[in-house]
């Protein structure tokens, strides 16, 4: 009896263990099924502006088309390095390299999972604002602002490709857009935008302040704060949004150049100078030295110029990088604020970038420093870019939203896997999305994906921000017919997520291609199954993806997304 009971208990115990293992396996299988698999992604730029051959010894403006705003530049020997604002995209602070100021290649990011800053809960246009990059005494420095995520900080690196240090926070330094200036006498200074010394006299009244910075102690010197500019070039005229300061010491003069007028159509670049940082900065009587605001709107092929930084080549020539936009149809632009390049000319010991009333040239003469460079990852002109996901690491051009960890991404045997999270692109975090910058007003983007499991919806997104984007999704048919799938097009706006068009695929297939074609103000969505292309819905309004419609400071991205199928209609 005892033996029978023991055998029975052992059997029950083994049964329970087997049942638990089976349950765990089933749970594991379910978790494994919650994945979207993409075989490749392709982006093809088709801008008419970039279609013709460049005249001899010229280059194309913008040098960095697409969402590359607030450029800052430095030089080490014959190598130039540039960094841009990244806001709440991750990884943050893209670092680019060039030998000739014209052809640039992404070499890394200064903010990665190793020195991440928490962007949880931020809107997309918060986070990292206008950085400054400088090379000094064997070390690269980036100083910038994490808006609503800690304030101003400095990071350093021996190699600009990384790794970069953990943030050195500057709690005393308020405001945004800090600049780091190393003087010839061994001293260092931080200039930045902040509130004026008194209550603001008008909307947009700001000021530029200066601190002395102790490089060894890695902190500002107590009591060193002083006012440089109150309001702007002439406070009696109520100039607005003085920001983006940079200081240079050239031929006995200290020059301070700033953006003024806001980053829209009134954006401009102004300059001041003084013989000593302890004396008053005097504004140039012929300011601004760069703007397009004085041109009729119909002639503004390029608009919103400003946020300039200067660089001197080894040959002694001066150049400026700055942001600008390429608008269409009354100042709409989906490509965001882009990086442009122009020479700096000196007259009466004052810098000039562009004479008043002149349009920004799109094909200026090249710098006389280096030949063309064939980059592996083209960032300018028309190009075709295809990712087969064949490497062990994700291509650095892919960016995501507020998430440095990316534990929802995996690469396996030439397949990109996205594991859907609980949130989607309408939320402020926890979204499974990988995008690349829209760099052309006219482009095609497409991706091939396997048929997702019943608990997953996946596809293509054209994304401006949380409240302005399109989703083209593939999922199982809501009738739960295992042999049927549906392709759905959604438009996300401030009022919610609306179904625009939907079609059922009647037979199973191994893979489907989802595609978007954008031509200025129009976006066309389609899908391809068994080699046949099928449009989905009518032409959509691409102005919905523009900064003029969505607000904020970012440009549109296009890429791949995954979400839980039961959240498809609401997320």
| Residues tagged active-site | 70, 243
Calculated CA dihedral for residues 347, 350, 351, 354, nearest 10 degrees: -60
CA 356 to CA 344: how far, in whole Å?
14
Integer-rounded Cα radius of gyration of the chain: 27
For residue 154, what are its two tokens? Answer: 């400095």
Element containing residue 33 per DSSP (H, E): helix 2-33
Q: What is the DSSP letter of 349?
A: T
Beta bridge partners of 399: 435
For residue 54, what are its two tokens? Answer: 């460049």
Q: State whether residue 191 is helix, strand or coil.
A: strand
Contact status, residue 12 vs residue 20, Cβ threshold 8 Å: no
CA 153 to CA 142: how far, in whole Å?
8
CA 260 to CA 211: how far, in whole Å?
21
Contact status, residue 475 vs residue 484, Cβ threshold 8 Å: no
Contact status, residue 339 vs residue 80, Cβ threshold 8 Å: no
Closest residue by Cα to residue 87 from 126, 143, 48, 53? 126
Q: What is the DSSP letter of 58?
A: B
Closest residue by Cα to residue 431 from 399, 398, 400, 465? 400
Closest residue by Cα to residue 293 from 285, 307, 308, 305? 305
Q: Which residue has the tokens 């005494």?
A: 137
Q: CA dist 499 to 36, 446, 470, Å?
A: 21, 20, 10
Q: CA dist 179 to 173, 317, 320, 455, Å?
A: 11, 22, 16, 49
Q: Strands 72-76, 522-529: parallel, antiparallel or unpaired by DSSP? A: unpaired
């Amino acid at each position: 009896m005892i033996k029978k009971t023991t055998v029975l208990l052992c059997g029950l115990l083994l049964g329970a263990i087997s049942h638990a293992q089976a349950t765990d396996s089933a749970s594991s299988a379910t978790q494994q099924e919650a994945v979207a698999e993409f075989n490749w992604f392709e982006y093809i730029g088709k801008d008419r502006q970039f279609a013709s051959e460049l005249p001899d010894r010229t280059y194309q403006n913008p040098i960095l088309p697409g969402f590359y705003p607030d450029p800052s530049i430095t030089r080490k020997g014959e190598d130039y390095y540039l960094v841009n604002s990244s806001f709440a995209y991750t990884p943050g602070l893209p670092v680019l390299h060039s030998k000739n100021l014209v052809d640039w290649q992404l070499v890394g990011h200064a903010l990665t999972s190793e020195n991440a800053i928490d962007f949880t809960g931020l809107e997309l246009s918060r986070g990292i604002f206008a950085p400054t990059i400088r090379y000094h005494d064997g070390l690269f420095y980036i100083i910038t602002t994490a808006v609503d995520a800690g304030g101003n900080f400095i990071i350093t690196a021996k190699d600009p490709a990384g790794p970069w240090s953990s943030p050195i926070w500057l709690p005393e330094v308020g405001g945004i857009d800090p600049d780091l200036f190393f003087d010839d006498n061994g001293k260092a200074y931080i200039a930045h935008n902040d509130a004026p010394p008194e209550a603001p006299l008008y909307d947009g009244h700001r000021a530029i302040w200066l601190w002395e910075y102790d490089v060894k102690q890695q902190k500002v010197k107590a009591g060193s704060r002083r006012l440089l500019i109150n309001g702007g070039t002439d406070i009696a005229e109520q100039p607005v949004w003085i920001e983006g300061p940079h200081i240079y010491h050239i031929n006995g003069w200290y020059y301070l150049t700033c953006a003024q007028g806001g980053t829209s159509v009134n954006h401009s670049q102004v300059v001041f100078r003084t013989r000593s940082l302890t004396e008053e900065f005097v504004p140039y009587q012929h300011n601004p030295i760069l703007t397009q605001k004085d041109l009729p709107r119909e002639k503004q092929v390029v608009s919103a110029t400003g946020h300039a930084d200067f660089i001197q080549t080894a040959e002694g020539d001066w150049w400026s990088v700055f942001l600008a936009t390429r608008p269409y149809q009354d100042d709409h632009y989906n490509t965001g604020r882009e990086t442009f390049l122009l020479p700096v000319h000196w007259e009466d010991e004052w810098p000039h970038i562009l004479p008043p009333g002149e349009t920004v040239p799109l094909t200026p003469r090249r710098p006389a420093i280096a030949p063309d460079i064939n980059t592996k990852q083209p960032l300018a002109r028309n190009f075709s870019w295809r990712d087969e996901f064949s490497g062990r690491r994700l291509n650095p051009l892919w960016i995501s939203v507020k998430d440095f960890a990316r534990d929802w991404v995996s690469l396996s045997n030439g397949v990109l896997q996205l594991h859907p999270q609980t949130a989607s692109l309408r939320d402020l975090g926890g979204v499974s999305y990988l995008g690349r910058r829209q760099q052309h007003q006219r482009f095609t983007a497409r991706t091939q994906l396997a048929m997702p499991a019943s608990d997953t919806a996946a596809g293509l997104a054209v994304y401006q921000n949380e409240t302005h984007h399109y989703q083209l999704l593939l999922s199982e048919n809501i009738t739960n017919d295992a042999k049927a799938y549906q392709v759905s097009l959604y438009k996300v706006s401030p009022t919610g997520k609306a179904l625009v068009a939907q079609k059922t695929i009647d037979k199973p297939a191994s893979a489907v291609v989802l595609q978007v074609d954008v031509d200025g103000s129009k976006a066309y969505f389609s899908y391809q199954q068994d080699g046949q292309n099928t449009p989905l819905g009518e032409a959509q309004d691409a102005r919905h993806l523009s900064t003029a419609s969505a607000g904020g400071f970012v440009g549109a991205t296009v890429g791949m997304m995954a979400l839980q199928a039961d959240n498809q209609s609401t997320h």
